[in-house]
């Protein structure tokens, strides 16, 4: 198992500067999806190549993965995908300052690092303050997609999200998947692994209900 990267380390206080959204995507008027903890970006490459009517932005704390993803992006000449290296919490904080408008029409947090020990729970990505920041940059009534194969983490994240009162759970049957960022139900790398090992996958879709 790989060593998780501690997002609270001083190293991640510094983040790369974020270009303006119209410099990132060829068509900045398309709906835009944010994937937090995108790892190598394989999932996003597939999404971006299959859905030209969406823009995709991936955030990842492991620098090497983003360097490689950016190389691949240049080679493939894809104009509806972009990657940023850094701790998502710091990136969102800067994003709000630089671009104080609702950039994202949906967001996903797929199989975030579990940080099992209680003393490490503060390193988990979903925290009340993080959700506040996320809600600032998400459009009204936009969807947040959450997946995990760790039940205890999933319950923890659900309770933080429910207590925030910013998002409410949406019944799966109320979602028209064809209109979402992932109409063909492409799987992430961790999801493929979980399926191959027959691990139970816990997932919830939330809708932003508070207009901040
Ligand atoms: C278990 S992996 C899942 C990767 C991918 N989402 C998937 O489903 O295959 C979690 C990813 O989140 C990244 N990550 C963890 N904490 C992060 C943070 N604070 N900001 C950005 N990325 C983070 C990790 O480096 C790792 O690549």
Using pLDDT thresholds of 50, 70 and 90, give the confidence band for residue 81: very high
pLDDT of residue 12: 63
- Whether ligand 1 lies within 6 angstroms of the CB of 105 is answered as no
Residues forming beta bridges with residue 85, ordered by sequence position: 60
Within the chain, where are the H helices?
21-24, 42-50, 63-76, 88-98, 128-137, 151-164, 189-196
Instruction: Kindly give the distance from the C-alpha atom of residue 66 to the centroid of ligand 1, in angstroms, as a whole number.
Output: 12
13 pLDDT more than 80: no
Residues ≥6 apart with Cβ < 8 Å to 193: none
> What DSSP designation does 165 have?
T
Q: Per the structure block, which two tokens stand in for 178? A: 């064809």
Q: Tens digits of per-residue pLDDT, 148-202?
A: 999 999 999 999 999 999 999 999 889 999 999 999 999 999 999 999 999 999 9
Q: Tens digits of per-residue pLDDT, 86-138?
A: 999 999 998 998 887 899 999 999 999 999 999 999 999 999 999 999 999 99
- When pLDDT is averaged across residues 21-36 and rounded to a whole number, the result is 95
pLDDT of residue 39: 98
- Whether ligand 1 lies within 6 angstroms of the CB of 125 is answered as yes
Q: Tens digits of per-residue pLDDT, 116-129?
A: 999 999 999 999 99
- From residue 71, how far is each of 74, 83, 106, 136 by CA, in Å? 5, 11, 26, 30
pLDDT of residue 98: 86
The closest-lying atom of ligand 1 relative to the alpha carbon of residue 87 is 20
211 pLDDT more than 80: no
Q: Which pTM value belongs to this model? A: 0.95
pLDDT of residue 21: 87
Domains of the chain, each with CATH number or no CATH: 26-208 (3.40.50.150)
Q: Tens digits of per-residue pLDDT, 29-77?
A: 999 999 999 999 999 999 999 999 999 999 999 999 999 999 999 999 8
- Whether ligand 1 lies within 6 angstroms of the CB of 62 is answered as yes
């Amino acid at each position: 198992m790989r060593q998780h990267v501690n997002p609270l380390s001083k190293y991640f206080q510094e983040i790369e500067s974020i270009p303006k959204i119209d410099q990132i995507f060829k068509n900045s008027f398309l709906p835009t999806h944010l994937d937090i903890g995108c790892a190598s970006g394989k999932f996003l490459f597939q999404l971006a190549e299959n859905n030209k009517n969406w823009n995709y932005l991936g955030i990842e704390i492991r620098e090497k993965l983003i360097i490689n993803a950016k190389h691949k992006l240049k080679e493939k000449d894809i104009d509806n995908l972009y990657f940023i290296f850094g701790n998502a919490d710091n990136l969102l904080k800067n994003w709000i300052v630089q671009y104080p408008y609702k950039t994202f029409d949906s967001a996903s947090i797929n199989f975030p690092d579990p940080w099992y020990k209680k003393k490490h729970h503060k390193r988990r990505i979903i925290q009340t303050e993080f959700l506040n920041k996320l809600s600032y940059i998400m459009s009204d009534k936009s969807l947040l997609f959450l997946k995990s194969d760790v039940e205890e983490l999933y319950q923890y994240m659900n309770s933080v999200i429910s207590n925030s009162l910013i998002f409410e759970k949406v019944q799966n049957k109320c979602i028209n998947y064809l209109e979402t960022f992932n109409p063909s139900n492409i799987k992430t790398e961790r999801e493929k692994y979980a399926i191959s090992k027959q691990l139970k996958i816990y997932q919830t879709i939330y809708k932003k209900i508070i207009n901040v």
